[in-house]
Amino acid sequence: MRVILSYIARMEDMTELSEDGFQVRSLAVNYRAGARIDPHAHEWPQLVYAARGVMTVEVEDGAWIVPTHRAVWVPAETVHSIVMTGQVAMRTLYFDPTVSEGLPRACQTIEVSPLLRELILEAVRLAMLHRDRPSDARLIAVMLDQLATIQAAPMRLPMPTHPRLREIAARMRTVPLEQTSLADVAREANLSARTVERVFAGETSLTFVQWRQRMRMLHALKMLADEEPVTQVALAVGYQSPSAFIAAFKRELGATPTQYFRSEEKGQE
C-alpha cells in the first residue's frame, strides 16, 4: 500500500511539471515467443532492453541479436523492427534528443552492466523523468554517463547494399542452416565469385564466408537462448564437433556459450 500511495503521489506531483521538461520516457511490455514489432521509427532516440528473453533488432543495413545482458541504442528516426525469441520482457527508454546529443548516431549493441540494468529498471518504474525534479535529474545524469562510457558489443550482422546480393542475404537469414556456398550465391546473383567477395568485403567488412559464419553464430545464439543443447546447436550450424563450435563462439563473442549465458543469468539477479 505504501508503494502504491507513493506512486500516486508522484503522478499527482507530475501534473505540476511542464510538459517540455520530461527528458526520459519509458515503456514496459511483455511479448510471447515469436512476436514481431513491424518496422517503425520514433522521434526520440531509444534504448531497447530485454529484462528477459532475446530480441532481434533489425534496421536497413543490419541486425542485432540482443540477449538480456545487452541492449540496442536506436537513434531517432531510425526505422527498425523487433522479433522476439522466447518470452520477452522488453523495457525501453526514450531520451529527449536535447540530452542525448553526445550519444551514438547509429544503431549499436551495448553491454548492460549491473548498474545500468538497475538504472533502466528504476527509470521504467518511475515512468517519466523530469529535469526539474532533482532526483530525476540525477538519475538521468548517471544514465547518460553510463551510456557515454560503455563499449559496443560485437553482435551486428551487416547487410550488403548491392540489390541482388542483399536479396540473397535476406533470404539466407530466413533459412540460416541452409548450405549456401559462395558459388551458389555467385550463380544466383549472375556475378563472378570474385565480385561477390569484393562486394561483401566492401559493403559489410566481412568476406562472404565470414558473413555466413556470423549469421549462423547469431542464429546459434537464439537456439542457445531457447535452451537447446550445445552439441545439437553446434551440429545444426555446421560445426563438426561441440569443441570447434565453442572455440568459434568464443572468437566471435568473447566467451564460451556457458560463460556467455552465465553472464546473462547474473544480469537477471
pLDDT, tens digit (0-9, with 9 covering 90-100), for 79-91: 999 999 888 999 9
Q: What is the pTM of this model?
A: 0.74
Span 216-225, average pLDDT:
85
Q: Which is more confident, 89 or 174? A: 89
Residue 180 to residue 75: CA distance in whole angstroms: 34
| Nearest-angstrom CA–CA distance, 173 and 178 | 9
**Do 195 and 208 form a contact (C-beta atoms < 8 A)?**
no
What lies within 8 Å, CB to CB, of 13 at 6+ separation is 133
Choice between 4 and 24, residue whose per-residue pLDDT is larger:
24
CB 121 within 8 A of CB 139: no
Are 108 and 156 within 8 A, CB to CB? Answer: yes
Superfamily covering domain 159-268: Homeodomain-like (1.10.10.60)
Q: Are 111 and 70 in contact (CB under 8 A)?
A: yes
* Domain definitions of the chain by residue range: 18-149, 159-268
Q: What is the pLDDT of residues 125-149, one digit of tens each?
A: 999 999 999 999 999 999 999 988 8
| Fold annotation for 18-149 | Jelly Rolls (2.60.120)
Mean pLDDT of 154-173: 89
